[in-house]
Amino acid sequence: MADSAEEARIDQALVTRIRLGADQRAFEQLVRRHQGMIRAQLRRLLHGDEAAADDLAQEAFMLAWRKLDQFRGEARFSSWLYRIAYTCFLQARRGPARHEGIDDETMEQLQTPARAIDLQLDLERAMQRLSTAEQVVLLHCSQLGLSHDEASYVLGMPLGTVKTHATRGKAKLKTWLAAWRDVANTEKFS
């Protein structure tokens, strides 16, 4: 927690330096500090399309540079960047976020993989079967490490909706991975 507060303080100091003197070196430090996670966020959102993710990340940093005066410090700088990157992603998809995904009924019709080759692969598949909203909420909360509040800010979703998607997403993953476990156990003992 203290580390996170210290990181936020460093970001804030760099932002102030840029505001005072249009300091490109300070912005370069900000880019270096955050590019890894922003690019990782976009790669996940774009299902591994590295080139497109890097293009969007570059666009997001350009936007951050131009709009830095609008950063008022209500959220952490990293959350502000995630929000810009997520907005760039939505704009690149040309349209509002589609949060419908696959419903539970359709999901039940999908077969559980007969052979569980690898848990990570199955988790990847299971993640892709979640609704888009559940995927992005779990990405931001469980993988990028944002709090529900921060995810709500980044995704522009009400806090309650974020919590609901996180709970539902995890519940679905639990069910599907339980099936995986059963298959794995059966194979192990047969």
Partner 1 sequence: MNEPNDEEIEALLHRQFEGPVADNGFSERVIRHLPPRRRRAAWPLRLGGLLGAVACWLSLTSVPMLQAGWRDSLAGQLSVAAIGMWLAMAVLALLALGWSVAESGKR
**Alpha-carbon distance values, 124 to 44, 51, 139, 188 (Å):** 11, 20, 12, 22
In the structure encoding, which two tokens stand for residue 161, read together? 């909706």
Residue span 87-126 as binding mask against partner 1, x where in contact by CB under 8 A, dash where not: --------------------------------xx--xx--
- Contact with partner 1 (CB under 8 A) among 4, 5, 6, 62: 62
User: How far is residue 14's CA from residue 30's CA, in Å, rounded to a whole number?
Assistant: 7
Phi, psi at residue 67, to the nearest 5°? -105, 20
- Contact with partner 1 (CB under 8 A) among 22, 93, 98, 106: 22
- Rounded to a whole number of angstroms, the minimum distance from the CB of residue 147 to partner 1 is 14
Q: Give the three-state DSSP class for 117.
A: coil
8 binds partner 1 (CB under 8 A): no
- Rounded to a whole number of angstroms, the minimum distance from the CB of residue 22 to partner 1 is 4
Q: Is 156 left (phi over 0), alpha (psi -120 to 50) or beta?
A: left
Among 1-9, 26-34, 76-84, 146-154, which window interacts with partner 1 (CB under 8 A)? Answer: 26-34
Nearer to partner 1 among residue 68 and residue 97 (C-beta): 68
73 binds partner 1 (CB under 8 A): yes
- Contact with partner 1 (CB under 8 A) among 4, 106, 128, 185: 185
